[in-house]
Chains A and B, each alone.
Chain A
Amino acid sequence: MEYDIVVGIEIHVELKTATKMFSGAPYAFKKPANTCDSVIDLAHPGTLPCVNKEAVRKAIEACTALNLEIDPLIRFDRKNYYYTDLPKGYQITQQFHPIGRNGWVEIAPKSGKRKVRINRIHMEEDTAKQFHLHDETLIDYNRAGVPLVEIVSEPDMHSGEEAALYVEKLRQTLDYLDVSDVKMEEGSMRCDTNVSIMPKGSNVFGTKVEIKNLNSIANIAAAIDYEAKRQAEVLESGGTVVQETRRFDEKTQTTVTMRRKEGTVDYKYFPEPNIFPIRLSEEFIKAVQEHMPELPDAKEKRYHEDYPSLSDYDISVLLGNKEMDVFFEETMQTAKNAKTACNFLATDLSGLLAKKEVSFAETKLHPASLAKLVNMIEEKTVSTKQAKEILELMLEGEDPEVIAKEKGMKQLSDEGAIAALVAEVLDENPQSIADYKNGKTHAQGYLVGQVMKKSKGQANPKLAAALVAAELAKR
């Protein structure tokens, strides 16, 4: 039987604020354990939560970029459960009145562009980080109380490909907004997916299985495709899909059972009495929305208009890596050829930096220097091949013109000078001319090679070839 796959995704994103959701304690990844806490995060008696303005701003930006309606009355609720990662015994969240509702993003799978609806975005606080050892657990409360938004999609995706595109779209958007670090490998963006299958054309959802611990976009696609196949096999062999939580095993590229539901947990939600409802003024919301950075979709459009030489693929590569894109924009302040700049960034420089484990933001190579190099090719003072050699030497911050001079790498584009070399070469090789006249066309290539050799590799190869052809015709 054929099946339709139904996928819904919940994403938790840590907001990039200086302090926590409800306290003035700072937070940064990889700080020494238990050094980023206040009495509020540790739930000392008598302490009261106080909502972070910047976290609200960032939530508004995320809602706006993802087309959600914003509720100007901020309200919080308590989700009660007892566990060591949660000092208060409850998590403050927005169960009943999320800050944003009814949004969407557009994705472009192979089957054509379509919208994925977003049900809601709500603000909440993160829990402490736990390290489970053999028979005991270590707790670091640094992460307790860090601001999060949870983004809940509708079950609108139907393949691993679509789910991966959706998550990548959110990652890219939130990255450009600077709302979050969105580093899946560091946990600042965490993704849980619900997967079920139903007979093709049916409108009755099958039993859904939750998959956790998806720490890369490639794993999301792989996990969903595997899980849908597994469920189909269970049904085909006469079994039933069990409602459970599974995790993706990277080594085997399969999903394995993590836990079966031991009856549903009752979180006993109720309104948070320690935080009065907060009314956001229209001016406040508007001010946030008016100061948002340019979003990837708008930027894509602008690049097509400003740099017609760039292909759809080139633009998607640039927008897929914010640091590289920032570098590109700075390069284009003075560079005269977008395509050349993009090629250098996306292939040569990316490769060189990856080898040295240095990011675009960290490299000593300045965008203005790259622009200079691009323009040297444009002005034909160096060949593309020479430019690649120069680029490698530029990583320590040296100027491309200085390197070219030191290495004697200048492209000879003076037509008269090359013509003189061509005449010399032809005079020295009468046999090659005879061969050429007798139909041995490869002789022409040999002659061009001799010209290049005589110029110590500095002659413009296109110009040299044209002049050799012209001179051969004359003789």
Chain B
Amino acid sequence: MKIEEIKELGRQIRFECSDEEAASIAADFDLLEKQLAFFEEIDTENVEEMVYPFDVETVFLREDVENDVLSREEVLANVSRVREGHVVVPKVVR
């Protein structure tokens, strides 16, 4: 992957990354792509794609009954910035 491509992906998910960070990620991807290349040796001609491990239908639907609700303290336990019970994040829209 080129550094420009990494930066473009970063832009799409609204993460800013410096040239050094992009270069480091690109190096990781190099390794990953080499490993993925091994898969290309497998013949997948006429093999149908699989979504579920078992090809079965189910019938279960959950009853509309309240359960396992978190308290606000639990919801916000891992949040670094809180205001009036809300999670605070940087604004990314104009």
Using a CB–CB cutoff of 8 Å, the interface residues on chain A facing chain B are 17-19, 23-26, 32-39, 42, 50-56, 73, 82-84, 131-141, 270-271, 273, 276-281
Given the interface contacts A33-B84, A137-B89, A271-B51, does A53 sit within 8 Å of B61 by beta carbon? yes
Q: Any chain A CB within 8 A of the CB of B58?
A: yes
Report B74-94 CB contacts with A as 1/0, cut-off 8 Å: 011000000111111111110
B64→A278 contact, CB < 8 A: no
CB A291 to nearest CB in B, in angstroms, measures: 15
**Interface class of chain A by DSSP:** loop
Distance, CA A49 to CA B13, complexed state (A): 24
Is B40 part of the binding interface, using a Cβ–Cβ cutoff of 8 Å? no
Q: Which of B12, B62, B72 contacts A24 (CB 8 A)?
A: B62
In the bound complex, residues from chain B placing their C-beta under 8 Å from that of A37 are 69-70, 75
- Cα distance A206–B66 in the bound complex, in angstroms: 48
Closest Cβ of chain A to B43, distance in Å, is: 23
Please give the distance in Å from A140's CB to the nearest CB on chain B.
Answer: 6
Question: What are 12 of the A-B contact pairs (CB < 8 Å)?
Answer: A17-B64, A25-B66, A26-B69, A35-B72, A36-B69, A50-B62, A132-B91, A133-B91, A140-B87, A277-B58, A279-B58, A280-B59
- Name A272's closest neighbour in chain B (CB-CB): B51
With beta carbons under 8 angstroms apart, the residue of B14, B56, B64, B66 that contacts A82 is B14
Contact between chains at A51 and B72 (CB < 8 Å): no
B91 in contact with A135 (CB, 8 Å):
yes
| B65 at the A interface (CB under 8 A) | yes
Measured in the bound complex, the distance between the Cα atoms of B58 and A73 in whole Å is 9
When the two chains form their complex, are residues B14 and A24 in contact, meaning their CB atoms are under 8 A apart? no
Q: A19-B65, A52-B61 are in contact. Are A34 and B88 (CB under 8 A)?
A: no
The answer to whether A139 touches B89 (Cβ under 8 A) is yes
The answer to whether B52 has its CB under 8 Å from any CB of chain A is yes
Most buried by B among A83, A136, A140: A136
A206 vs B26: C-alpha distance when bound (angstroms): 42
Report if B46 contacts A (CB, 8 A). Answer: no
Partner of B60, one of A36, A134, A278, A281: A278
- Is B63 interfacial (CB 8 A cutoff)? yes
Binding site for A on B (CB under 8 A): 12-14, 51-52, 56-72, 75-76, 83-93
Partner of B90, one of A50, A136, A277: A136
- Do the beta carbons of A34 and B57 come within 8 Å of each other? no
For B87, the chain A residues whose CB sits under 8 A away are: 34, 138-141
User: B64's contact among A55, A73, A134, by CB below 8 Å, is which?
Assistant: A55
- B67: min CB distance to chain A, Å: 4
Apart from A32-B72, A38-B69, A138-B84, 19 more pairs, CB < 8 Å = A18-B64, A18-B65, A19-B67, A24-B67, A33-B72, A33-B86, A34-B75, A35-B71, A38-B68, A42-B75, A54-B64, A82-B12, A131-B86, A132-B93, A136-B91, A137-B91, A273-B52, A278-B59, A281-B59
B88 contacts A138, C-beta separation under 8 Å: yes
User: Which 5 pairs, one residue from A and one from B, show the smallest C-beta to C-beta distance?
Assistant: A54-B64, A24-B67, A53-B61, A138-B86, A82-B13
Asked if A276 and B52 make an inter-chain contact with CB atoms under 8 angstroms apart, the answer reads yes
Q: Using Cβ atoms and an 8 Å threshold, which residues of chain B touch A25? A: 66, 68-70
Which residue of chain A is the closest to B70 with respect to CB atoms? A37
Residues B57 and A32 in contact, CB atoms below 8 Å apart:
no
Could you tell me the distance between the alpha carbons of A82 and B66 in the complex, rounded to whole angstroms?
29
Nearest Cβ in chain A — how far from B64, in angstroms? 4
